[in-house]
Chain A
């Protein structure tokens, strides 16, 4: 469906302009649509979180702005875009401005590489998993810069905590994804999704895949800096952590990136473990499989991602925050060793299977 649309656009443009120009326009179109999708998804996500959080807390959540409060976050965006950008005294202005861009750029680049539906993927690297891991950890540079350049003690402590946290949990994240790479034998996202046509990797990979999935959820959750791992912006001691000094749209970038990182982590989990946009197939149940096929692939993808996001929100609004030493102990003494053993197990499994 999507490939026919892109082909039509391609041939349409080629009819009127040279190949290079057509490519340029296509890039532009893709860029704009990714950015729009990014912003819209982020706004929806923020609203969803506020609603879900409210229900967890016996409240109603936003319900006055638009029907069921649907336009609440749109109003927030209008306001935040038009808010004053404060020039911080004695801050490193270049780095200060740059930091929020690095965070959002890292997040958008990761977002762009996700396979949203059948044929709806902007770029399909043959090292897709590697790319996702690499580019998503760009954000930590932005956070460190933000903390350093703001010339404030709170942001500094927040950034340092964040650095320690993100870099540690990056390991578990990578290791658990590596499990799936071992299982699938490829790093190309489209192929990984394709291989899950009959059975998702979480079922194919037996116990090691389930362990990897759980570890990925924990480590990924930690990477998004959200509770119970929200130490970098622990409001009870650091006011707002590394983005304390940011106002207006610069803060908006951090805010959007925080929510979109949650989406990205959930989307990667869905792609790697839950079959991406592939429908649920159970071998032998042909009618059931055909019914499942009728549901559009984008819905499958968003549904699975939504499930992972819901898990994250559930944890976020139920658990208290960890302390930095407990956080690092969890990573280095518990998750990491399990991950290492898990990869061996997975390799063994693959070897036995032939």
Chain B
């Protein structure tokens, strides 16, 4: 199967900026070939999953406001079927980490992630969630949520514009689209096997 098959209804393949990452990801997943029957089932499942990603309402600070803007009239992520924001982590598919995560919040976020049902995805929105951002020199900030939970998509900005968040959502859709229902990608497998991610300490 060609990598160019990763088509989502919202954006052309050429319009995405860094396709190499996804291509490597696909070739890693498809090592050893894919059974045509399994492939079709995969496509079907991934079509469903990538088109129905329900976010958890979770925001710690500023980026949450821009996340609300994405849901409001101007940007309207309902067009892509993302508007069913679930309040209970059990029913959500993706957690948007909007805003700074601090020491006191870190275990709570991890708990939230663990409460979500598989398949689950994480999007780190804004500088704070990616690396600590403007609060990197603080004593109480976690230097990026990937220290606590595995992140699928990073959306830089402080805060990112709604368009940037939409672009990140499209990236997540594409990522879901190439997943293999019968085979976990390596990073997630490690998490699944060890049971938990190791928490590292960020240095200021």
Direct contact of A and B (CB under 8 A): yes
Write the residues of chain A forming the contact surface with B, with a CB cutoff of 8 angstroms. 50, 54, 57-65, 69, 71-72, 74-80, 82-86, 235, 239-240, 243-248, 251
Query: Given A78-B49, A79-B52: A62 and B86 within 8 A (CB)?
Result: no
Pair B117/A61 contact, Cβ less than 8 Å = no
Complex-state Cα separation, A60 to B82, whole angstroms: 12
Residues of A within 8 A of B93 (CB): 79, 83
Pair A245/B88 contact, Cβ less than 8 Å = yes
A240 partner, pick from B48, B73, B87, beta carbons under 8 A: B87
Q: How large is the interface on B (under 10, 10 to 19, 20 to 34, 35 or more residues)?
A: 20 to 34
Residues of A within 8 A of B48 (CB): 74-79, 82
Taking the nearest CB of chain B, how far is it from the CB of A16, in angstroms? 34
Pair B52/A246 contact, Cβ less than 8 Å = no
Write the residues of chain B forming the contact surface with A, with a CB cutoff of 8 angstroms. 9-10, 44-45, 47-49, 51-52, 72-73, 76, 78-81, 83-84, 86-88, 90-91, 93, 115, 117-119, 181
Residues of B within 8 A of A85 (CB): 117
Query: Taking CB as reference atom, which chain B residue is nearest A75?
Result: B51
Complex-state Cα separation, A28 to B48, whole angstroms: 29
Query: Given A62-B81, A75-B51, A244-B90: A54 and B76 within 8 A (CB)?
Result: yes
Pair B45/A65 contact, Cβ less than 8 Å = no
**Known pairs A64-B51, A69-B79 / 17 extra A-B pairs, C-beta < 8 Å:** A50-B84, A54-B78, A59-B78, A60-B79, A62-B78, A62-B81, A64-B80, A69-B81, A71-B51, A75-B52, A76-B81, A83-B93, A85-B117, A235-B87, A240-B87, A243-B88, A246-B90
Complex-state Cα separation, A60 to B72, whole angstroms: 10
Complex-state Cα separation, A79 to B47, whole angstroms: 9
Residues of B within 8 A of A243 (CB): 88, 91
Pair A75/B81 contact, Cβ less than 8 Å = yes
Pair A78/B52 contact, Cβ less than 8 Å = yes
Query: Given A74-B48, A240-B87, A246-B90: A65 and B78 within 8 A (CB)?
Result: no
Residues of B within 8 A of A83 (CB): 93, 117-119
Pair B45/A78 contact, Cβ less than 8 Å = yes
Query: Given A72-B81, A76-B52, A78-B52: A245 and B76 within 8 A (CB)?
Result: no
Residues of B within 8 A of A61 (CB): 76, 78-79, 83
Interface of B is mostly: loop
Taking the nearest CB of chain A, how far is it from the CB of B121, in angstroms? 12
Pair B9/A65 contact, Cβ less than 8 Å = yes
Query: Taking CB as reference atom, which chain B residue is nearest A239?
Result: B87
Residues of B within 8 A of A64 (CB): 9-10, 51, 79-81
Pair A245/B90 contact, Cβ less than 8 Å = yes
Residues of A within 8 A of B78 (CB): 50, 54, 59-62
Residues of B within 8 A of A69 (CB): 79, 81
Q: List 28 A-B contacts (CB under 8 A).
A: A50-B78, A60-B76, A61-B78, A61-B83, A62-B81, A64-B10, A65-B80, A71-B51, A72-B52, A72-B81, A75-B48, A75-B81, A78-B45, A82-B48, A82-B49, A83-B93, A83-B118, A84-B117, A84-B118, A86-B117, A239-B87, A240-B86, A240-B91, A243-B88, A244-B90, A246-B90, A246-B91, A251-B90
Complex-state Cα separation, A72 to B54, whole angstroms: 12
Complex-state Cα separation, A71 to B50, whole angstroms: 13
* Pairs of residues from A and B, 6 with the lowest C-beta to C-beta distance, nearest first: A78-B48, A75-B51, A84-B117, A247-B90, A247-B117, A84-B118
Pair A65/B119 contact, Cβ less than 8 Å = no
Complex-state Cα separation, A84 to B89, whole angstroms: 12
Centre residue among B79, B86, B119 by max chain A CB count within 10 A: B79
Taking the nearest CB of chain A, how far is it from the CB of B56, in angstroms? 10
Residues of B within 8 A of A54 (CB): 76, 78, 83
Pair A58/B91 contact, Cβ less than 8 Å = no
Pair B87/A65 contact, Cβ less than 8 Å = no
Taking the nearest CB of chain A, how far is it from the CB of B46, in angstroms? 9
Residues of B within 8 A of A58 (CB): 73
Residues of A within 8 A of B72 (CB): 59
Query: Taking CB as reference atom, which chain B residue is nearest A57?
Result: B73
Taking the nearest CB of chain A, how far is it from the CB of B108, in angstroms? 14
Taking the nearest CB of chain A, how far is it from the CB of B37, in angstroms? 17
Complex-state Cα separation, A63 to B118, whole angstroms: 26
Residues of B within 8 A of A239 (CB): 87-88
Residues of B within 8 A of A59 (CB): 72-73, 76, 78
Taking the nearest CB of chain B, how far is it from the CB of A347, in angstroms? 47
Taking the nearest CB of chain B, how far is it from the CB of A74, in angstroms? 7
Taking the nearest CB of chain A, how far is it from the CB of B69, in angstroms? 12
Taking the nearest CB of chain A, how far is it from the CB of B26, in angstroms? 21
Complex-state Cα separation, A243 to B88, whole angstroms: 9
